[in-house]
Amino acid sequence: MHVSKEPSFRESVDLMFNRAVALMDLPPGLEEKIRVCNATYTVRFGVRLRGQIHTFTGYRSVHSEHMEPVKGGIRYAMGVNQDEVEALAALMTYKCALVEAPFGGSKGGLRIDPREWEEHELELITRRFAYELIKRDLINPAQNVPAPDMGTGEREMAWIADQYKRMNTTDINYRACVTGKPINAGGIQGRVEATGRGVQYALQEFFRHPRILRRRPCRARSRVSGSSCRGLAMWAITRPSS
């Protein structure tokens, strides 16, 4: 029996891209130039923890630098790999282009289970990862600006911003090297629930469509799946007021 091979995450993104560009009249070669990632940096570094040296593998992929800085989160998960960060970096480029946000797309990740490490150990690991990226301008307010993602949050962004400041003492814009920082470290109100609020606005517009209104959506039920920032924000925003 023939079993079809499921496409990888990166291949799935390319399939969607191909469907879109098939409807466009692009000059020869431009389609391929847009599709491929400009660069993906892989770093392996050691940190002495618990009496021995542990080696970690991290990635930072830059999909497109047609506008700078490039933008995209850093995730901590055991499943992080080159295929995943390149796919996510490409999606960042496309999302920014669709809403005309003036950024290129990037994405990063560290192959680690953050639940296995104490807070002070995570700080040492994060600062060392940041050091490797900063010295190659893969974290820079004018060139490459990370953000929180799966497994990371305000705490990790604060550590990265402080590490950047230590390495670039004369850069008055050091806080702009990452987004998603704590409020007391230069962050902004509303950032945590921003993605969930975006889903809320999309749903509002969806249910305004005449074909949907004819189906009496006021009687419909909804389910929020997931407990990430997006899922929790969606629950908080859409739950009935008491």
Categorize the per-residue pLDDT at 202 as very low, low, confident or very high, splitting at 50, 70 and 90.
Answer: confident
Within-domain flag for 142: yes
Domain containing 136 — which CATH number? 3.40.50.10860
Question: Does residue 208 sit in the same domain as residue 182?
Answer: no
Determine the straight-line distance between the first and last CA of the chain, rounded to whole angstroms: 56
Instruction: Give the residue numbers spanning the domain of 231.
Output: 198-238
**What mean pLDDT comes out for the span 58-62?**
98
Q: Do residues 57 and 93 both lie within one domain? A: yes
Residue 15 domain-assigned (yes or no): no
Residues 100 and 183 in one domain: yes
* 29 in any annotated domain: no
**How many domains, in total, are found in the chain?**
2
pLDDT of residue 233: 57
142, 206: one domain:
no
Residue 122 placed within a domain: yes
Point out the residues that are catalytic.
107
Is 8 part of any domain? no
Model confidence at 123: pLDDT above 90: yes
Name the least confident of 30-34, 107-111, 123-127.
Answer: 30-34
Distance CA 30, CA 46 (A): 40
Query: What's the pTM?
Result: 0.85
* Among candidate residues 202, 205, 194, the one with its CA nearest the CA of residue 228: 194
DSSP-derived secondary structure for 63-101: ---SSSSEE--EEE-TT--HHHHHHHHHHHHHHHHHTT-
> Is residue 24 in a domain?
no
Q: What is the sign of the dihedral through the CA atoms of 136, 11, 32 and 35?
A: negative
Is 33 within 8 Å of 17 (Cβ atoms)?
A: no
CB within 8 A of 94, min separation 6: which ones? 17, 105
- pLDDT of res. 206: 81
Count CA atoms closer than 13 A to 141's CA, side-chain side. 12
Q: Please check whether residues 110 and 90 belong to one and the same domain.
A: yes
Question: Does pLDDT of 96 surpass 80?
Answer: yes
Give residue 220's pLDDT: 63
* Residues 133, 85 share a domain: yes
Residues 118 and 68 in one domain: yes
pLDDT in tens, 142-177: 999 999 999 999 999 999 999 999 999 999 999 999
